Amino acid sequence: MVAIPAGRVTLSDRRTQRSWSVEVEPYSISRFPVTQSEYAHVTGQRPSAAHGDRMPVETVSWWDAVRFCNALSRSEGLSPAYRIGAGAGAGAGANAGADGDANAGADGDANAGADGDANAGADGDANAGAHVDTNASDDGDANARADGGPKDRAKAGADSRAQASADGDGDGGSIEWIASADGYRLPTEAEWEHACRAGTTGPRYGELDEIAWYRGNSDGRMHEVGGKRPNAFGLYDMLGNVWDWCWDVYDAEVYGAYRVLRGGGWFDEHWSCRASVRRRSHPSFRPDDVGFRVVRSVSL
């Protein structure tokens, strides 16, 4: 875990043209994404699509991530950061499968308030194996827009289904963040961006090829953690390799329960691997390019 100083970060969303400023208190964050060996040690499970002890754990839902946080806290004698209601996140796999091909693709159209990739990661069967949507229209990248091909069109009709499924899905369970707890938790997206930037103000904390595994250099696969240059806080893989689940709801009015993803992954083009990029997925989905890092509120 790496101690991160307090600070102020300005978040922005290209989709809504909104920006807002957030103060963050001191906290500590894991130096690497949670690895498969760490995940297996705490949960006994190895859910990832591509295996390797020092690979980031992926194919984990947001619910899996918060449960891991609590389990890790208990294993270290810390107070769990989350009070999770009975049945929370249950039934996720069954429901998410209904989305079928709704995954992937780019926004159908610029005028859509709810763009196309509502379902970043649900897969036909096992609710795994799909990637986070790599379309870039959220980011206002003209190049990326041209990238939307047949998947865009195939996607258009799927939006309503994806949305409906999300609404009725298995997060009827409750979760409460216990602010006074000293245990592990997910970063807020403000904490994530503050940690990622490490004092920098540009799109990235370094030259992309030196700091991140992304589509341009990943050879189409995930890589072991720590293989690229860290940022000034000493954090590795903030950009690229796997996306990180964050605590925050993305946009409740438009996307319901969807939670924020940050950082971009091995499957993503360069435009998705930037400190400010916000994406989303349903908390029950398990994309194969999404993992997470853990945070503690106490400064170590």
**Footprint of Ca ion on this chain (CB under 5 A)?**
237, 241, 263
Q: Which is nearer to Ca ion, 192 or 285 (CB)?
A: 192
Distance CA 196, CA 203 (A): 10
Q: Which is nearer to Ca ion, 181 or 294 (CB)?
A: 294
Helix (H) or strand (E) holding 162: helix 159-167
Minimum Å distance from CB 282 to Ca ion?
19
Residue whose C-beta lies closest to Ca ion: 263
Q: Which is nearer to Ca ion, 219 or 253 (CB)?
A: 219
Q: Which is nearer to Ca ion, 49 or 98 (CB)?
A: 49
Minimum Å distance from CB 232 to Ca ion?
16
Residue with tokens 């270290």: 76
Q: Which is nearer to Ca ion, 182 or 224 (CB)?
A: 224
Minimum Å distance from CB 196 to Ca ion?
9
Minimum Å distance from CB 172 to Ca ion?
30
Minimum Å distance from CB 235 to Ca ion?
10
Q: Which is nearer to Ca ion, 152 or 237 (CB)?
A: 237
Instruction: Determine contact, residues 62/259, Cβ cutoff 8 Å.
Output: yes
Minimum Å distance from CB 52 to Ca ion?
16
Minimum Å distance from CB 230 to Ca ion?
12
Q: Which is nearer to Ca ion, 106 or 238 (CB)?
A: 238
